[in-house]
Amino acid sequence: MNRKEEYNKIAEKIVGHVKNDTTDQAQDVLSIPTTDYTCEKRWNSEIKNIFQTLPLMAAMTIEIPNPGDYKSMEITGVPLLITRDKNGVVNAFRNVCTHRGAIIAEPGIGNRSRFSCPYHGWTFTNTGILMGVTDKQKFGEFDTSCFGLAKLPSKELGGMIFVTLSKNEDINFEEFLGGMLPEIEHFKLENWYYHGFKVIEGANWKIAFDGYLEGYHFNTAHKDTIATMTMNDIMDFTAFGPHLRIAFASTNIEEIFELPKDEWWKKEGSGVDFVRTIFPNIAISLGLGIGQVAQILPGKTPYDNTTVLHYIAPQPPQNDEELAELDQNMEFLRNVVNDEDYLLGIEIQKGLNSQSNESVLFGRNEKGNQFFHKYIDYFIDQNIKEPPKL
């Protein structure tokens, strides 16, 4: 089945759900312990076995598109430096000087061919080679080739830069992404325009991610915003390994009938909306004339996260009016996520921390949430031998 045929079938299912007031459902409800969101031991296991083991999207290609560009950041306490060398090849390193452990590049984005440690001035190329040792004749002899920056596995795929925080050279990025990779590649995000980003703070990383996985909350949490554009509690789910494609019905879905049935695939973003997730922490939404890529990073405790909201568009604004429209859409989306999802999430965290309830219950209609939490268990519990099915 080609992409057009597949998307026609998704649109047909969504239209059926709208007509019958139904949604894609799991076989049963699912109860998970409240401590999944509060237990420090479990949180440490998630950090170790998921965030510091699996491939993570660290950057968009269009954040560092040119030779010499770099991005410095921190993920779960690991300082990370991503560079693009003179040949356009992406490299990832631990952003730590091999002399005495100082952080080399401050957080942010820039363009450099070399990096000097702020402590003693040791200098590294953007390919990680130690090229300069201050007062080397006084320092003493050692093999500089063994003291380059610690390199991490990385790969640029689908307009995104993926890394692993461990040094596991056997990792297969394409295999991990599976069927989600062609989903992303279709949009050629490497050719899009990077408009900017917003940083927001929230509760446990799973509370934040839960909000991207269902439309059951639209009429209550987003009654004056998202619910005016997207129907409540009408969804279709497709899994690609641990990753999800979630289809929602737009409030203007009747416009789909203006096209022949075999052309319904053309109505993505105007009839049928999608959220695509990359496990464990990326949610991609391409609509409203602007795309949002949410990058959810666990904080320093089980009770908080930092989310970077990347805003992209198919092409740069051509005039001041288009620039203002992009700015407006960016602010709108940021405010929806922060004011209507994340502030509520902080209150949810308070409720869970109070130990008033022993469990959290996901309904049959919260199929994506059930799948997400089962996959977390699969990666952190060695007794679970088979990956979950949607």
Query: What pLDDT score does 170 carry?
Result: 85
pTM: 0.96
Query: What pLDDT score does 239 carry?
Result: 98
Query: What pLDDT score does 183 carry?
Result: 96
The residues of the chain scoring below 70 in pLDDT are 288
Of 189, 162, 191, 190, give the one whose Cα is nearest residue 174. 162
Domain residues of the chain, as ranges? 3-53+178-380, 56-170
Q: Classify 3-53+178-380 by CATH class.
A: alpha beta
CATH code of 56-170, in short, is 2.102.10.10
Query: What pLDDT score does 288 carry?
Result: 67
